[in-house]
Amino acid sequence: MREPIILDTDPGIDDAVAIAAALFAPQCDLRLITTVAGNVSLEKTTRNALQLLNFWSADIPLAQGAATPLLRPLHNAADVHGESGMEGYDFIEHARQPLAKPAFQAIRDTLLASSEPMTLVTIGPLTNVALLLSHYPECLFNIRRLVMMGGSAGRGNVTPNAEFNIAVDPEAAARVFNSGLEIVMCGLDVTNKATLTAEFLATLPGLNRTGAMLHALFSHYRSGSMTTWLRMHDLCAIAWLARPDLFTLKPCFVAVETQGQYTSGTTVVDIDGKLRQPPNAQVALEIDVEGFRHWAAEVLALAP
Ligand code: RIB
Ligand code: CA
């Protein structure tokens, strides 16, 4: 049974491989892609996403979303993904354009057009989802669940405690975690372990066109190294959808810190229930790394 999904993304090199998996994993029925500012500017994340859809000749609509976080200035991750956000591969020119409506409206329209509740998958900052919930709160009932790459029950990757997707827009993340949505949180606890090894990466150029393109991008991706392993943060969100058996989840109350001078963007994951609050997320705490690697190899082999 293929699951209808909407993917919100800020490509982003690890976003690119997650988009490949969302397109070619048999469990996923990708209906809409929306872009958000994060790794790089909205203009660049949108250009990158359109280039990827054109690369795969994918007939998927794309709507561009928020150019800035709800309240804060954008802090990007060009140091990890390159100035373009997807450094390393020369995509051919194309005439694709985003839809003429903003992402939160395109998400609403797609949800309402679906005969069944859909899954939102977010692999960037949560600004677009927060805007959707603010403009169209009734959409909550059309969303089966939200699967995110974001947060951490432990250490962060942009500050000592905060993970990038949450830290870029803590106010949006707080809105989402307080929304009542069913949330699956794939944070750094699992995504830092979800690595592709140098041995596997070396096979990509000979795998298929997708492998050759991803290998070129990965050569410029700075979350790890091509000579050891690379962290596939965003791919985990699709991996959970396709193979939930690879993950161990725990229902937890998660609060997003928005005020702390040193801690804003922290997902406070109450693993032991010390705050006596009802759980508002299923938090992924463990991953079967070898199983993830085998799945990733299988799904990339399904791409052209
Ligand atoms: O912390 C990892 C996340 O930040 C990933 O989504 C990556 O693409 C960057 O956006
Ligand atoms: Ca991302």
Q: What is the pLDDT of residues 54-78, one digit of tens each?
A: 999 999 999 999 999 999 999 998 8
Ligand nearest to the CA of 150: 1
For β-strands 267-270 and 118-122, DSSP reports them as unpaired
Please state, in angstroms and rounded to a whole number, the distance separating the CA atoms of residues 47 and 33. 12
- For range 190-210, the mean pLDDT: 98
> Looking at residue 295, which CATH number applies to its domain?
3.90.245.10
Reported as a single tens digit per residue, the pLDDT across 95-142 is 999 999 999 999 999 999 999 999 999 999 999 999 999 999 999 999
Task: Report the distance separating Cα 29 and Cα 93, nearest Å.
Answer: 27
Best residue among 128, 161, 164 to mutate for probing ligand 1's pocket (most ligand atoms within 8 Å of CB) is: 164
Q: How confident is the model at residue 79 (pLDDT cuts 50, 70, 90)?
A: confident
pLDDT digit string, tens, across residues 126-184: 999 999 999 999 999 999 999 999 999 999 999 999 999 999 999 999 999 999 999 99
- Please pick, among 135, 215, 233, 294, the residue that the annotation labels catalytic: 233
pLDDT at residue number 78: 87
| 276 CA distance to ligand 1 middle (Å) | 30
Report which residue type is found at 167: A
Structural domain of 159: 3-302
Atom of ligand 1 nearest to the CA of 188: 1
Quick one: which H or E segment has residue 129?
helix 127-135
For residue 38, the ligand 1 atom closest to its alpha carbon is 10
> Ligand 1 centre and the CA of 60: distance in Å?
22
CB count in 10 Å sphere of residue 301: 12
The span from the CA of 89 to the CA of 120, in Å, is 28
Please report, as a single letter, which amino acid is at residue 150.
G
Choice among 64-68, 74-78, 208-212, 267-271 with the minimum mean pLDDT: 74-78
Q: How many CB atoms lie within 10 A of CB 228?
A: 10
Neighbours of 3 (CB within 10 A): 18
* Number of domains forming the structure of the chain: 1
> Which residues line the pocket of ligand 1, CB cutoff 6 A?
10, 12, 14-15, 38-39, 77, 123-124, 149, 157, 163-165, 233-234
Is 75 annotated as catalytic?
A: no
Cβ(124)–Cβ(19) below 8 Å: no
pLDDT class of 1 with cuts at 50, 70, 90: confident
Which tens digits make up the pLDDT trace of 32-55? 999 999 999 999 999 999 999 999
**Ligand that comes closest to the CA of residue 232:** 1
Which residues sit with Cβ closer than 5 angstroms to ligand 2, an ion?
A: 10, 12, 15, 123-124, 234
Q: Whole-number mean pLDDT of the chain?
A: 97
Whether the predicted pLDDT of 80 surpasses 90:
no
Exposed (0-12), middle (13-18) or buried (19+): which is 136, by Cβ within 10 Å? Answer: middle
- What is the three-class DSSP state of 87? coil
User: Tokens for 137?
Assistant: 């709160």
